[in-house]
Amino acid sequence: MRGKFQPPTRAVVHADVRSARWTTVTVFGRIRRHAFTTPPFRHQPGTGGEFPDAPRAAAGRPRSALAAPSRQPPSPVQTGRMRTDLVSEPSELGFPNEDFVSVGLPASGLGGALVMLDGVTPPRGGTGCVHSVPWFTARLGGALTELSLSRRDLPLTEVLAGAIGRTAAAHADGCDLSHPRTPQATVVVARWDAETVEHLALADSVLLIERDGGEVTAHTDDRLARIPRERLRSAAVVDATLRNKEGGFWTAAADPRVAGRAVTGVVPRRGVRSLTALTDGAARWVEVFGRGGWADVVTLVRERGAAALVAEVRALEAADATARAFLGPSKTHDDATVAHLHL
Ligand SMILES: [Zn+2]
* pTM (2 d.p.): 0.79
Burial class from Cβ neighbours inside 10 Å (0-12, 13-18, 19+) for residue 277 reads buried
Among 13-27, 94-108, 200-214, the range with the most confident prediction by mean pLDDT is 200-214
C-alpha 314 to ligand 1 mean position (Å): 32
DSSP 270-301: TTEEEEEEE-HHHHHHHHTT----HHHHHHHH
Question: CB neighbours (10 Å) of residue 244?
Answer: 18
Which residue, 162, 54, 158, 160, is CA-closest to 116? 160
| Residue 259 to residue 251: CA distance in whole angstroms | 9
Q: What is the mean pLDDT of the chain?
A: 82
User: What gap in Å lies between CA 158 and CA 153, rounded to an integer?
Assistant: 10
Ligand 1 ion local residues (Cβ < 5 A): 129, 131, 171, 175
Q: Encode pLDDT of 254-282 as tens digits.
A: 999 999 999 999 999 999 999 999 999 99
Distance of CA 117 to the CA centre of its chain: 4
Q: Which of 98, 78, 103 is nearest to 88 (CA)?
A: 98
Q: What is the pLDDT of residues 4-36, one digit of tens each?
A: 445 566 666 554 433 333 344 444 434 333 333
Q: Given this model, what pLDDT does residue 79 score?
A: 52
**Ligand 1 center to residue 327 CA distance, Å?**
32
Residue 197 CA to residue 216 CA, distance in Å, equals: 14
Give the per-residue pLDDT at 32.
Answer: 38
- Would you say residue 62 has pLDDT above 70? no
Gap from CA of 173 to ligand 1 centroid (Å): 8
Instruction: Assign 80 a pLDDT band (cuts: 50, 70, 90).
Output: low
Domains in the chain with CATH codes: 9-40+74-342 (3.60.40.10)
Find the 188 Cα to ligand 1 centroid distance in Å.
Answer: 22
Going from the Cα of 266 to the center of ligand 1, the distance in angstroms, rounded, reads 34
Segment 280-325, tens digit of pLDDT: 999 999 999 999 999 999 999 999 999 999 999 999 999 999 999 9
